[in-house]
Amino acid sequence: MAATLCILASSSKGNATAIAFDDTGRFILVDAGISPRRVREGLVRASAISPFQRLRAIFLTHLDTDHWAASWAAHLRRHPIPVIVRGEHADDAVAAGVPVGCVRVAGDEFRLGDSVIVRTVAVPHDDEGSTAYRFDGPDASIGHATDLGCVEADLVDTFTGIDLLNIESNYDEAMQRHSSRPEFLKQRIMGHQGHLSNDQCAHAVETLARGGSIAHVTLLHLSQECNTPQLAHDALARRAGSLVPSVAVAPPSTPTAPIRFSRNDSCNDSRKDSCNDAHDAHDAALLTAFSGKNGE
């Protein structure tokens, strides 16, 4: 078995990440900031259908519109599945259109099904904060942190020992400072409750990778005005290039290649077709598959 993850969209215009913890076809989304149709199309485009047959739950980092697209409301009323939020976000979730019956309030640690342990960390972002998630599945531990103004000790503690890391690398500090944005916006973004700069992200990755466990990092949520993939990648390479074997930068609106990983498997590079049964999938499979059997 292996875990498979695919970043479907990653920017201030929409965020969604699909993760399958095994080969049963069940998967989760972290954030649903693009429509159900775009999730479906993104998985087809990534040729990533085989591990992503049946959506079992949605984990929301927070309720900003780039993380929760209102078009999911109607979809969830027809095909209800759990939508997981921290307690502080529960009212916002209902106000934003998440059906009340779907809302599940996450504690610090809980189980998803039999084989996945989920841990949540509150991270500073605007007034309501955001949520970072750690998923410990049977074959991989995955950390996902986006929309946070700084990396605090509890996030580092919680993410220690993960195999795959998805983390925001939002802006290049010089580009931000010299941008034409209004000063209040620059201060908000660069502040303690804003977003991570490339250097802050690289520092966090360096800290987390020192233990030697991280096999792959995907950089998320790059500002399209105040960052470039090259700058984000270079900042990480300078600080942690020798510690992280594999790095990808998520494009804003097209899916990454599916990353397949198993702690117990030598076939851990998604780009090796022989290791990636996702490429065997037929587009038609997804078109029927996604249409909504209930998850747990």
Number of residues that bind Zn ion (CB under 5 A): 2
**Is residue 168 close enough to count as binding Zn ion by CB under 5 A?**
no
| Interface with Zn ion in residues 230-249 (CB under 5 A) | none
Choose between 147 and 163: whose C-beta lies nearer to Zn ion: 147
At closest approach, how far in Å is the CB of 112 from Zn ion?
23
The answer to whether 52 and 24 have CB atoms below 8 angstroms apart is no
- CB 19, CB 4: distance < 8 Å: yes
Q: How far is CA 68 from the centre of its chain?
A: 13
Q: Which of residues 47-86 bind Zn ion (CB under 5 A)?
A: 66
In angstroms, give the least distance from the CB of 221 to Zn ion.
6
- Residue of 184, 177, 260 whose CA lies nearest to 215: 260
Query: Rounded distance, CA 27 to CA 54, Å?
Result: 6
Question: In whole angstroms, how close is the CB of 123 to Zn ion at the nearest point?
Answer: 12
Q: Does 22 bind Zn ion (CB under 5 A)?
A: no
Segment lying near Zn ion (by CB under 5 A), choices 17-25, 75-83, 145-153, 224-232: 145-153
Largest CA distance in the chain: 51
Binding characters for Zn ion, 105-144, by CB under 5 A (x = yes): ----------------------------------------
Task: Produce one character per residue of 209-248: b if its CB has 16 or more CB atoms within 10 Å, e if not.
Answer: beeebbbbbbbbbbbeebbeeebbbebbeebbbebbebbb
Given candidates 22, 136, 139, 147, which one binds Zn ion under the rule CB under 5 A? 147
Neighbour tally for 174: CB within 10 Å: 12
Interface residue list for Zn ion (CB under 5 A): 66, 147
